[in-house]
């Protein structure tokens, strides 16, 4: 399978569904409640048109850019996602794939691999934190990340962890103990290739989060243990966020901005970047697709800080649309997880190659020589498409 080429991200998703146990795959596709937001994240991109040009095209198209203090080969960053148990190497495979393709990786504090190991595999590691635990514990996590070689911080605020899913929430065990293994054995047996890949490494799917507590502390909390810590932590104020930003002397991003007023407060808090996001449809269901409110946020603060988009990217033309409407780069989540599930590290590299080729093809068709040439004039925006969230209906 290592040499198998996947043509599209949609095909990577089909392969992931075919290969993964039912509950594992369900965890990758699920959004909160009715799934209105997760569906609109994708559908909104299809409503946008692109403007083609026929002649005087450049023979080369430039995709490299600089975001979060990092020179990257294309305007795509790996978004942090927790406990990547779809593959034994998990975040390490993703980190190596990203390094091989010259892009940065966001590593979740809920990851199944340590920040030390991931930063060693990719020198452009951005460590993602939640407002979780005491202030001393938060600072200790960031100091540990810096010591490991992380080059930036992503503070994620757009998360409510809703289990209310109309199609049923996947069952995720507290830990893979003998009782859980017996319960999920029928699902695993139905996916022998996935099971064999774990079996030959001598490891079972790891649901612990080694980046929450100091290195070597035994035992590391499980995903739900870390979630319980988050639940018990009082949500931050903007003053708290400004304080946390002051504890890190490098690039600092807030992930989860959807409103202009919050984007301006992020600027006031001193951050260097924001990700316009709705947590991939896993936060407040009914929030519009993220591309619908990107332009309003970018117009308000894009000349002061970097603006990224996170949510719904499935092809290179989606990246181009986001950049044309004000993003400096995009972050991807489900797309690379499907690649990881389909073919490990090679599958993630494959997904990044699909996006790179799609960006190049779109730039060629639009007559541009660089992603820096993109502007709103390149996009056909239907009437009623934009949904700036600070504007009364």
pLDDT for 111:
93
pLDDT for 114:
95
Structural domain including 353 reads 9-102+154-194+255-379
pLDDT for 52:
96
pLDDT for 216:
72
Whether 368 is catalytic? no
pTM: 0.93
Report if residue 294 sits inside a domain: yes
Per-residue pLDDT of the chain (393 residues; tens, 9 = 90+): 556 899 999 999 999 999 988 878 888 887 888 999 999 999 999 999 999 999 989 899 999 999 999 999 999 999 999 878 889 999 999 999 999 999 999 999 999 999 999 999 999 999 999 999 999 999 999 999 999 999 999 999 987 766 677 766 666 666 666 665 666 667 766 777 867 787 777 776 777 889 998 877 777 777 777 778 888 899 999 999 999 999 999 999 999 999 999 999 999 999 999 999 999 988 899 999 999 999 999 999 999 999 999 999 999 999 999 999 999 999 999 999 999 999 999 999 999 999 999 999 999 999 999 999 999 999 999 999 999 999 655
Report if residue 14 sits inside a domain: yes
Report if residue 45 sits inside a domain: yes
Q: Decide: helix, strand or coil at residue 208.
A: strand
Whole-angstrom CA distances from 345 to 105, 261, 352, 358 are 13, 39, 11, 20
pLDDT for 83:
77
Cβ-contact 261, 164 below 8 angstroms = no
Catalytic one of 113, 279, 356, 387: 279
pLDDT for 254:
98
Give the Cα-Cα-Cα angle 241, 69, 129 (nearest 5 degrees). 35
Report if residue 368 sits inside a domain: yes
Cα gap 97→34, rounded to integer Å: 33
- Could you give the number of structural domains in the chain? 1
- CATH number of the structural domain spanning residue 286: 3.20.20.70
User: What is 274-328 written as a DSSP string?
Assistant: EEEE-GGGTSSTTPPPHHHHHHHHHHHHTTTSEEEEES---SHHHHHHHHHTT-S
Of all helices (H) and strands (E), which one includes residue 230? helix 223-231
């Amino acid at each position: 399978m290592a040499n198998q080429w996947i043509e599209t991200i949609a095909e990577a998703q089909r392969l992931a569904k075919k290969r993964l146990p039912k509950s594992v795959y369900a965890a990758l596709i699920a959004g909160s409640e009715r799934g209105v937001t997760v569906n609109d994240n994708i559908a909104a991109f299809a409503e946008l048109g692109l403007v083609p040009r026929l002649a005087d095209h450049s023979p080369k198209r430039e995709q490299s850019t600089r975001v979060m203090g990092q020179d990257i080969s294309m305007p795509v960053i790996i978004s942090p996602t927790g406990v990547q148990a779809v593959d034994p190497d998990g975040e390490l495979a993703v980190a190596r794939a990203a390094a091989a393709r010259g892009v940065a990786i966001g590593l979740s504090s809920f990851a199944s691999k340590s920040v030390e190991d991931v930063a060693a595999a990719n020198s452009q590691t951005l460590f993602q934190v939640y407002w979780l635990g005491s202030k001393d514990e938060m600072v200790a996590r960031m100091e540990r990340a810096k010591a490991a070689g992380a080059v930036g911080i992503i503070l994620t605020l757009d998360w409510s962890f809703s289990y209310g899913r109309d199609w049923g929430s996947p069952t995720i065990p507290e830990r893979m103990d003998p009782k859980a293994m017996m319960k999920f054995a029928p699902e695993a047996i139905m996916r022998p290739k996935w099971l064999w890949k774990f079996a030959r490494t001598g490891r079972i799917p790891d649901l612990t989060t080694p980046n929450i507590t100091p290195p070597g502390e035994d035992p590391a909390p499980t995903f739900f243990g870390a979630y319980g810590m988050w639940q018990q932590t009082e949500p931050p104020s903007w003053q708290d966020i400004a304080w946390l930003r002051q504890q890190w002397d490098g690039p600092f991003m807030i992930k989860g901005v959807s409103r202009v007023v919050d984007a301006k407060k992020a600027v006031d808090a001193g951050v260097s970047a924001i990700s316009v996001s709705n947590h991939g449809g896993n936060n407040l269901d009914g929030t519009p697709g993220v591309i619908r409110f990107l332009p309003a946020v970018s117009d308000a603060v894009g000349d002061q800080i970097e603006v990224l988009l996170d949510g719904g990217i499935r092809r290179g033309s989606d990246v181009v649309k986001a950049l044309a409407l004000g993003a400096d780069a995009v972050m991807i989540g489900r797309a690379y997880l499907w690649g990881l599930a389909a073919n490990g590290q090679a599958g993630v590299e494959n997904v990044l190659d699909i996006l790179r080729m799609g960006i190049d093809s779109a730039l060629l068709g639009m007559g541009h020589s660089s992603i820096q040439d993109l502007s709103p004039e390149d996009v056909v925006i239907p009437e009623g498409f934009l949904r700036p969230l600070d504007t009364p209906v």
